[in-house]
């Protein structure tokens, strides 16, 4: 029960973090939607958002595995 509530909260936070990320750094940037640079170094808040997204995705996957085993 508590795992489901935590997963819902993490999924909402993940959605917000993904929407906050810069659009030109994704697939649209590679296909010509953004700058011509293929790699851009993340700095400041952009780096924090990226790391938080990765960490929360790993936590969400871990909770899903725990829920599956219970």
The pLDDT of residue 25 is 53
| Owning domain of residue 9 | 2-69
pTM: 0.72
Q: Under DSSP, is residue 7 helix (H, G, I), strand (E, B) or coil?
A: helix
Inter-residue contact 12 to 65 (CB < 8 Å): no
Structure token pair of residue 26: 């994704």
| Among 22, 23, 13, 24, CA closest to 54 | 13
The pLDDT of residue 41 is 78
How many domains would you assign to the chain?
1
- The total of other beta-carbon atoms located within 10 Å of residue 52's CB is 14
pLDDT digits over 5-60, tens only? 999 999 999 999 999 987 655 554 555 555 555 666 778 888 999 999 999 999 99
The rounded radius of gyration (Å) of the Cα atoms in the chain is 15
């Amino acid at each position: 029960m508590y795992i489901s509530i935590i997963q819902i909260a993490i999924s909402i936070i993940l959605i917000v973090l993904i929407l906050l990320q810069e659009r030109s750094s994704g697939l649209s940037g590679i296909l010509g939607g953004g700058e011509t640079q293929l790699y851009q170094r993340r700095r400041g808040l952009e780096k924090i958002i990226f790391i938080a997204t990765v960490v929360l995705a790993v936590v969400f996957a871990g909770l899903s595995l725990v829920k599956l085993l219970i």
